[in-house]
Amino acid sequence: MPKLKLQSAQQTANALTAVTDQLYEELRQSTLKHWLDDEKAAKKIDEKVHAWAYQAKSSLDQQHPYQAVQQQLEAWLEKKAVSGIELELMQQQFQDFQQGLGIPVLGGVWQFQQNAVQSKTALHLQFQLLQEKWQRKLTEAVAQWEFEQLALQRDAFLDEIKDFLAALQKMAKHKDAFGADTGIFIDYSKGQLTEQDVQQFEMWSNYLAQDKALQKLCQIMGSAEPSKYKRKPLAVNPVQAQQALPDQRAFEEITGIHLSQHLNLALPSELALLSDPDLQILFDLKYLESNLLGFHLQGEQSGRVIDDPRRTRKMRGEKGPMILCLDTSGSMHGQPELIAKAISLYLAMQAMKSKRPMHIINFSTNLTALELQQGDALDDVIHFLSQSFHGGTDIVPAMQHAADMLRQPNFSHADVLVISDFIMGGLPPELMEGIEQLQQQGVGFYAAAIGNFRIDHLNDALFDHQWVYQANTGKVEQLN
């Protein structure tokens, strides 16, 4: 006979409903209950609950702990009849199952008296009753196991939800520092932030909130409006290419059908209206209104198209992708690194808010990178910014990586921003030549120096605009 199905879909659905109702009730009784009234937060919680319920159901579909007992029962259900000795064995197996559940066994209820004379009818009836009772007890045991498993998973999930809401509450206090609303913390959070991550976030946020000059610098760099600043003159050679351009005056080739007043190009179906006296008036009206369907003809002529890459960039929109190079070398350790990461966090949040692709490069002598695309989370940014190298400073690999990214379609019109103390050497001539070519194509290179000095030791041709954040005075200076 087919295998027993003791876990019905309706039974599991009812158990899940009961457990989720308990979960929401506990949230309503907690100090975080106000988040249930926030539209976005409530929606995020619902999404998490639905995902958890699906995962919980999948785990319940796995084997329950009574597989061996179920196999014993299935073996007895396959039998049409049993002997007295077999019935006694069946009774013993059922009693062992009950003892395993902690149910006391009442002696004499199912005891089979071997010395008694039993008719086949009485033996078969006793066999059927035992089958039914065993199946009922097993179904109840599996249902109880399901509910207990869901309750255990619910408790763990409830702790996860509370941690998520507690982190959200702490982070939402700093929304003004980032010029964002609470929604950005909800929309771009996976709910996987640790207590240490939240502390890092609060540290960077507090620094931003307390320093108005730093906030202004963040807004300038995050505005992505290069047209506000005068760009250095570049020797741009406009691209000229021979192309075949459409010529509406040259009737050389049929390219489609359009409405017109040209009788010589009218479709035969339109001219057929003239053959019917009753439809001639319709033809006249369509002619007067230039609504005759006719062939559309045009030709081509050779022409030269002039394309200025910088004009192409402007047409693409001012807010394009961004490549951020963050220096976490040993010389940045302490306050400069804290400032640099606060700026980076601000720019990353603005990029996510405006759905702007962003590539972050964390560099010292080595580098790691994080590419932010749609669907990425604030959790990933905070985890990434928590990393530091604290080694020597070598900007060459970072700038080479940025140049390589600029040759990819998604970042071909990106702006490049370097945040560093710029205690480093210059760039090799071949890399500078490649960067100058990218600048001629409209790429903007910007620098934010954290420290009490200028960055004159770097090649002046590298950056279009340079800002210095004076750490000792908390002032921002823009260099020409």
Higher pLDDT among residues 231 and 383, named by residue: 383
User: In total, how many domains does the chain have?
Assistant: 3
Q: Is the same domain home to 50 and 155? A: yes
Per-residue model confidence as pLDDT tens digits over 269-318: 888 888 887 778 778 877 877 778 887 777 665 555 444 444 444 444 45
Mean pLDDT of 2-23: 75
Per-residue model confidence as pLDDT tens digits over 183-192: 777 877 777 7
Which helix (H) or strand (E) segment holds residue 468: the answer is: strand 465-470
Q: How confident is the model at residue 368 (pLDDT cuts 50, 70, 90)?
A: very high
Q: Is the same domain home to 270 and 340? A: no
Q: Residue 459's pLDDT is what?
A: 57
Look at residues 252, 285, 307 and tell me which one is the last residue of a structural domain: 307
Q: Residue 7's pLDDT is what?
A: 60
Per-residue model confidence as pLDDT tens digits over 204-253: 888 888 888 888 888 887 764 444 444 444 444 444 455 555 555 555 67
Residue 191 covered by a domain:
no
Mean pLDDT of the chain: 79
Q: Is the same domain home to 327 and 411? A: yes
pLDDT surpasses 90 at 323 = yes
Q: Is the same domain home to 288 and 329? A: no
Percent of the chain with pLDDT over 70: 80
Q: Are 191 and 453 in contact (CB under 8 A)?
A: no
Q: Residue 133's pLDDT is what?
A: 92
Residue 197 covered by a domain:
no
CA 259 to chain centre: 48
**Which pair of tokens denotes residue 44?**
């995020």
Q: Is the same domain home to 72 and 17? A: yes
Q: Is the same domain home to 131 and 150? A: yes
Amino acid identity, residue 219?
Q
Q: Residue 109's pLDDT is what?
A: 43
pLDDT surpasses 60 at 408 = yes
Residue 400 covered by a domain:
yes
Q: Residue 234's pLDDT is what?
A: 45
Domain CATH code at residue 403: 3.40.50.410
Q: Is the same domain home to 227 and 253? A: no
Q: Is the same domain home to 465 and 321? A: yes
Per-residue model confidence as pLDDT tens digits over 129-178: 999 999 999 988 888 888 888 888 888 899 988 888 888 888 888 888 78
pLDDT surpasses 80 at 105 = no
Residue 180 covered by a domain:
no
Secondary structure class of 408 (helix, strand, coil): coil
Secondary structure class of 394 (helix, strand, coil): coil
Q: Cα–Cα distance between 414 and 202 in angstroms, integer? A: 29
Q: Cα–Cα distance between 352 and 373 in angstroms, integer? A: 8
Look at residues 124, 150, 172 and tell me which one is the last residue of a structural domain: 172
**Structural domain range at position 292:** 239-307
Residue 234 backbone phi and psi in degrees, to 5: -120, 145
**Which pair of tokens denotes residue 397?**
């690999």
Pair type for strands 367-372 and 415-420:
unpaired
Q: Is the same domain home to 4 and 150? A: yes
Q: Residue 468's pLDDT is what?
A: 86
CA 454 to chain centre: 40
Residue 242 backbone phi and psi in degrees, to 5: -80, 125
The dihedral formed by the CA atoms of 223, 326, 166 and 375, expressed in degrees to the nearest 10? 70
Under DSSP, the state recorded for 266 is B
Both ends of the chain: CA-CA distance in Å? 87
Q: 265: how many CB neighbours lie within 10 A of its CB?
A: 18
Q: Is the same domain home to 3 and 126? A: yes
Q: Cα–Cα distance between 39 and 41 in angstroms, integer? A: 6
Lowest mean pLDDT among 190-199, 200-209, 326-335: 190-199
Higher pLDDT among residues 62 and 167, named by residue: 167
pLDDT surpasses 90 at 262 = no
Residue 199 covered by a domain:
no
Look at residues 307, 331, 358 and tell me which one is the last residue of a structural domain: 307
Cross-strand partners of 420 = 449
Q: Is the same domain home to 268 and 127? A: no
Mean pLDDT of 342-348: 90
Q: Residue 113's pLDDT is what?
A: 46
Secondary structure class of 428 (helix, strand, coil): coil
Which pTM value belongs to this model?
Answer: 0.63
Residue 183 covered by a domain:
no
Mean pLDDT of 451-462: 61
Q: Are 360 and 395 in contact (CB under 8 A)?
A: no
Q: Residue 187's pLDDT is what?
A: 75
Q: Are 282 and 274 in contact (CB under 8 A)?
A: no
Q: Are 438 and 412 in contact (CB under 8 A)?
A: no
pLDDT surpasses 80 at 122 = yes
Residue 92 covered by a domain:
yes
Q: Is the same domain home to 371 and 449? A: yes
Contacts of residue 154, defined as CB under 8 A and 6 or more positions apart, other chains included, come to: 19, 20, 22, 23
Residue 184 covered by a domain:
no
Higher pLDDT among residues 233 and 202, named by residue: 202
CA 175 to chain centre: 21
Q: Residue 401's pLDDT is what?
A: 94
H helices present in 243-308, as ranges: 268-271, 280-288
